[in-house]
Structure 1
Amino acid sequence: MAATVVQDEKPCCVLPGPELLAIPGFDYQRASITSAALSDVPSDVIIKSRIRYGSRLSACKGLLLEYSKSTTIHGIRYIFEVHRPIYEKLYWLVLTCTSVYFAVSLIWATYLKWQDSPVIMGFDETLVPVHKIPFPTITICPEIKMERDVFDYANISQRIWDDFKRNSEFSSVDDEDLERLAATMHICDSDVAARFAPLLAKLRPGTPSQGVSETLVELSISKNVTGPFCRWNQRFYFCDKIFDFVATDEGICYQFNGLRPKDIYRDEKFISFVDPDVVDFQNYFDKTLPRLNEISGNWSLDSGYVNQGLNSYPQRTVVSSVRNGFFAFLQGQEHNYDYDCRSFKQGYKVFLNSPESVPLTSNNYILVPHGHEVMVSVLPNYVVSTDNLHEISAEKRQCYFDDERSLRFFRSYSQSNCQTECLANFTISKCGCAKFWMPKPLDVPVCGVSDIACYTAAQDELNALLQNQTIQQSLNPNLKVMCHCMPACTSLEYNFEISRAVYRVEKTIKAFREVYELTDVIGSRLTVYFKEHQFTAIKRTILFGVSTLISNCGGIFGLFMGISSLSFIELVYFFSMRICGSCSQRRKHKQIFPQDQEEQDKVNLQP
């Protein structure tokens, strides 16, 4: 009778167990993945068996093998491929590590460049016509500070010195002259002030200080005497019609084309003197010329001129020529020459600045000596910045936008305004007062003659402090510099070239068959004009933005490793969602074959 073979019935519709993948007569649990017995088994079967039925460590290895087989990163699949010989794996491991090294090195260098120099300054693509910007503000500071017929400084100072030697406490000098002398101490040379200021402060401590600017204006030479006539944009003016008195560290100066104090300062009461005269560019000599259009619209350094014609505020010119520039005939009377207060230098100091800023007398100036003609050709230095620079910090781009840095006294930010405010605040903190030309809060007094030594020392101390902090910052970038007056992101400065020649006013007048009557007047001529019709602006823009950094890093990764953004997404996918899916499949298998799983765990625990 034939033997009947009875086979164990297997339940239908059940997931296959490890026994269906086992090789007959082979101990699968103890076999290595590189065993020769497995060389004919497809790698996909081995990887899936490890993930679904192997131990946790074996499942992790299987998941890594599956990722290396599917990833788009070059070289990884050859390192972890199941049936790949060991020498090939070592070969690809060395090449892959080398590629990773070069990729990381270049990306790190790109990141450092993005951190250190994300901004580049270059020439703008288009030329800027000169009518797009204002004509420079011209500040003329004469070395003759006083009209001798009003106040004879040399005589009064000599009398005071003689009284001091006789210990007569200035008996020969009245109070009005003492007050005027006290005011002049603020504009005389430092060694002169050091000699006379202590005497005045000691013997007349009650000398008022609030009217220093008014007293200096009273003593100064009038506008029409210093500048009899001027020319601007081919129209002749009496200079006093287009000049403003302004208080500077050089004393009382004459200013052309400056903004009114109410447009520069948040409150014009922050400064001690405001010229009551209003400039009128319609008041010119030749009445046959057509009148200018009325001033309308506005101007700012960021937005430029808005709805303004030729007669604009501040003034501008259309073409670059001497005829369309600014010309002033300046005259100095020899009897007013002063060698006691202002030493040996005689003539005029001329400063050029943008209208929204105050002139810094510590900067470069143009010297116009008496008896000379000086022609100044101006080339604007106009720096603009793109709006996307806002995404970069001010320290990295090394400039401030107007909406980023708010000054206490000034409406708009500029480096010169910031430096002026810094000096004013430091002087107030050290001396409890401000020098006559400085902006100050309403409740802070003007420094008197007894405070001259204090604010002079405060200015020297601030300069030394800023120099030391700047040097220390070069060694330690995290150190903050006091006031931190970086340039404005949109700025306008004026570079210039000078031509000078001797000018003899008496010979010129005689050449015109006129009679020269003022025998003690020495004339000078100053001409300022734009050098070119157009100029090249400088544009500050982003060299390395975030998008550029990502693009460069992506290009480096793609060149050396073939990595794209999807490669990173794939990496996250495999080690997040696929792990969760594999764990879910392992739990289902444990529920269906609990005995097989227990035997598998025992085998895994065997030494």
Structure 2
Amino acid sequence: MTLKSIWVDYCENGSIHGLRHIIQKNETPWKRLMWILLLIVASIAIVVLVSASWEKYSYSSMEIAVDDPHYPLTKIDFPAVTICPISKIIYSKALKLVLNKHSNDSDLRTRWTNSLMALSRMQFPHNTNLYYILKNIPTIKIPLDDISDLMLKLAPSIEDIFIKCFWRGVTYKCKDILRFQRTEQGFCYSFNSQTAERSTNNESNIHPPFDGRDGILIPLRNNAAGKHTGLKLIMKNMSNEFFPTDYRRRGFNVLVHPPDGAPDVASAYKVHAVRDRITQISVSVAQVEADDSLNRLDDWNGQCYLYKTKAKNLSSLLHKSSNEDTCFIKCRMKAIHEACNCTQYFFKLYQGLGSHCGIEHIPCLIENDVLQRNAKVTEDEPGFPEWSIPFSMHCDCRPPCSFITYTTELRYEIRQFINKEPLSSRYDVFLEVNYRELYATSYRRSMRYTTQDLLVSFGGVASLFLGCSLVSILEILYIIYKSFLVLVRKHYNKYELNNNAF
């Protein structure tokens, strides 16, 4: 069998349209030329359309569709709740540990008082207020290495803040279900947060989130909604523990956030001590899951980040997490360090982050307060003229493809008190965080143009223009293989003939 006979036989009996007209002996030359041109045009059209389909597949947009409007709560983590006292210093502790040591020197005592008050007001996004606190008042420079330890000793403890704690209607010791949490508002306490610090010497075996397999932290979940079904906290109003010159309203900042993310203090609710009032935070949940079709996206060029945190050993703020809030907090820390060469005292010092910020760094913090509120946008985005964002951080914080969002609503209710209760207890702060509905809404994020769509497009184009299919492609490969064998055999026979001639 010769090479010519192989291809002639394929053209006569193959499934690709038009080939048999080219090799027919009784066809005139101009008809053969016409069929050759038609095959060339069809082949070019296939290449163009297939290239367009591939480009559409490679850079396909995403779509989000409702997967289950009644998704069970049992499959979703209960949100983390972080409590930050408005006063970062217990006044009685400040008297005992610092101020009373300078009773005989009123000027030094005043300087210490002013410095402590300034440090207690150091927080994002209100550093600008420090200008009015420090304006024309004397201060003392506290050694930078001592600031964090000192503020930690003066900070309110769990016993200083919380009276009773309830989870799903059952009373627990507050120290058993709350953890120490570092935030941009200072030292706080969190429930169900994977980013809170984990003590190694806890006597209790509760302390949610709890350890699962391979050291993965597992947050608590809930399958009930409505009053008294979630977290309930009774807190002291701490009216007597503010500095005498601190006239802010007594109370706390409350943050509801995903368990795997650091608290975003800019979204905090202020809960104040008001007589016989209960503050209720109702939570609605929505979950977005990434479809397997997103796995083909490049991690850096995709519209979202595919990384799913394993929540393993998350004992600090600077952990690997897919949460956007955590990313922006780390970006703000970096921006402050680059601008002021320091880190706020309520964060741990990590390698390369210099020293803690002291009184001498406050002018720099004030100057860069606006910087921390603005992230840089790409130059081609409309609506962002250069003058509208004078200062901006360089953050690369893309949204995760899979995430859970908690939508909250703040409500107030009059508490039904008992006549035998002491009058002072009627000014305690009552807080409840519960689910609003018995279900969540689940969405699925997928590629608009899937692999199946790509294959259908390839097959449709090839069938439309040449009438070929996957079997046709296999036929061509088979013919190429046979042709290769013929050429090899021909070359071998020629080689044997030359050897025999000698």
- TM-score computed with the length of structure 1 as normaliser: 0.62
Structure 1 residues 581, 325: closer, same or farther in 2, change over 3 A? same
Bigger shift: residues 442-451 or 460-469 = 460-469
Question: Which of 109, 121, 125 is 1:173 aligned to?
Answer: 109
Q: Aligned runs of 1:504-519 on 2, under 5 Å?
A: 508-509=416-417, 512-518=418-424
For 1:360 and 1:440, how far apart are their aligned partners in 2?
Answer: 20
When residues 409 and 327 of structure 1 are mapped into structure 2, their CA distance, relative to the original with a 3 A threshold, is closer
Does residue 493 (structure 1) correspond to residue 430 (structure 2)? The answer is no
Answering whether residue 387 of structure 2 is matched by residue 450 of structure 1, we say: no
Distance 1:63 1:131, change over 3 A: closer
Change (3 A) 1:116 1:227: same
Alpha-carbon spacing, 1:368–1:180, altered in 2? closer, same or farther (3 Å): closer
CA root-mean-square deviation = 4.9
Give the superposition deviation at 1:218.
4.7
Q: Which amino acid aligns with 2:355?
A: P
1:150/1:535 CA distance change after superposition, 3 Å: same
Determine the structure 2 residue equivalent to 1:41.
none
Q: Which residue of the partner structure matches residue 435 of structure 1?
A: 344
2:264 aligns with 360
Aligned to 2:305: 399
DSSP 3-state at the match of 2:187 = strand
Deviations 1:185-216 (A, max 9, x none): 4249434312455878x9634x1234444444
SS for the counterpart of 2:117 is helix
Separation in 1 of the partners of 2:381 and 2:202? 45
Whether 2:434 is the aligned partner of 1:529: answer yes
- State the Cα distance separating 1:139 from its structure 2 match: 0.9
How do 1:10-159 and structure 2 match up within 5 A? 68-78=11-21, 81-84=24-27, 103-104=46-47, 106-117=49-60, 120-124=63-67, 128-147=71-90
Amino acid at match of 1:204: I
Contact in 1 for aligned 2:194/2:209 (Cα 8 Å): no
Residue 484 of structure 1: aligned partner: 396
1:242–1:280 Cα contact (<8 Å) kept: no
1:138 Cα shift?
0.4
Question: Structure 1: where are the runs of 5+ without partners?
Answer: 1-47, 53-58, 157-168, 264-273, 283-293, 306-313, 475-480, 593-607
Matches of 2:421 and 2:310, distance apart in 1: 60
Distance 1:101 1:248 in 2: 61
Task: Return the offset for 1:453.
Answer: 3.4
Aligned partners of 1:430 and 1:458 also within 8 Å: yes
Give the whole-Å Cα distance in 1 for the aligned partners of 2:406 and 2:25: 73
- Kept in 2, the 8 Å contact 1:353–1:494? The answer is yes
- The whole-number CA distance in structure 1 between the counterparts of 2:91 and 2:271 is 22
In the TM superposition, residue 527 of structure 1 has moved relative to its aligned partner by 1.7
- TM-score normalised according to structure 2 size: 0.72
1:437 positional shift: 2.7
Select which of 358, 367, 379 maps to 2:284.
Answer: 379
Equivalent position amino acid for 1:251 in 2: G
**Percent identity of the aligned residues?**
18
Does residue 1:209 correspond to 2:121, yes or no? no
Matched, 1:326 2:225: no
Deviations 1:320-367 (A, max 9, x none): 342321122345355667897686x764332112223221213x3334
- Conserved 8 A contact 2:233-2:431: yes
The higher relative CO (CA closer than 8 Å, separation ≥ 6) is in 2
Number of positions where the alignment pairs a residue of Structure 1 with one of Structure 2: 471
1:288-307 per-residue CA deviation (whole Å, 9 max, x = no partner) reads xxxxxx99751799x885xx
Other-structure match for 1:186: 122
Structure with higher Rg: it is 1
Q: Could you report, residue by residue, the CA deviation over 1:270-324 in whole angstroms, capped at 9, with x for unpaired residues?
A: xxxx798766759xxxxxxxxxxx99751799x885xxxxxxxx33334334232
